Amino acid sequence: MEPMENIIESLADYGWCVVPGFLPEAETAALRVECLLPHAAGAFHAAGIGRGQARIRSEIRGDHVLWVEEIKAGPALRAMLERFETLRREVNQALFLGLLDLETHFAVYPPGGGYQRHLDRFRDDDRRSLTVILYLNEPDWSEEDGGQLRFWPDPDAAPLEIPPAGGTLVTFLSDRFWHEVLPANRQRLSLTGWFRRR
């Protein structure tokens, strides 16, 4: 089954999907470089919680982010955004979610940084509908490196722990699934976004 078909089928059946190897390593590496260059130049800023005047609470959320509209996208990012646009169209056609656009950022967690259990939809804004997380970590990432996505498919059952292997794509309905980023022992990278409806 093609990855897009797999995602759509899993979203329809379960509301979430994990696709290891969604992005080949060469393309993941190129995207990783496009993330790390502005990070090294100091372009990232501490991520906040909440909407509007987001509050910086490093004990809750420890990553630094760079919104893609703040930079000139390189070829690897442009190609990935085209893939996301294909996903948006195909999900809309199959599942009638009415997804209109994508807000997305690079996220870099320093060693020890995490993000406590949360939902991806704001209390006063229900436009975020589908979360997408593409991991950009090095291919030698191991279980000992930590940084797993702790994910609750069922809030009354034990969570899954999804390794942040480079090239893995995680998608889920933003308002349904609690999740948490466990602290990592090395720098942890992703391209994270939310498809929004009107």
pTM of the model: 0.92
**162 and 18 Cβ atoms separated by less than 8 Å:** yes
Mean pLDDT of 108-132: 85
**First-to-final CA distance of the chain:** 31
pLDDT in tens, 172-185: 999 999 999 999 99
**162 and 19 Cβ atoms separated by less than 8 Å:** no
Domains of the chain: 3-45+54-197 (2.60.120.620)
Q: Which DSSP helix (H) or strand (E) runs through 149?
A: strand 149-151
Backbone angles phi, psi at 36, to 5 degrees: -75, -30
For residue 195, the cross-strand partners are 102, 130
Percentage of the chain exceeding pLDDT 70: 91
Q: 3-state secondary structure string, 4-39?
A: HHHHHHHHHHCCEEEECCCCCHHHHHHHHHHHHHHH
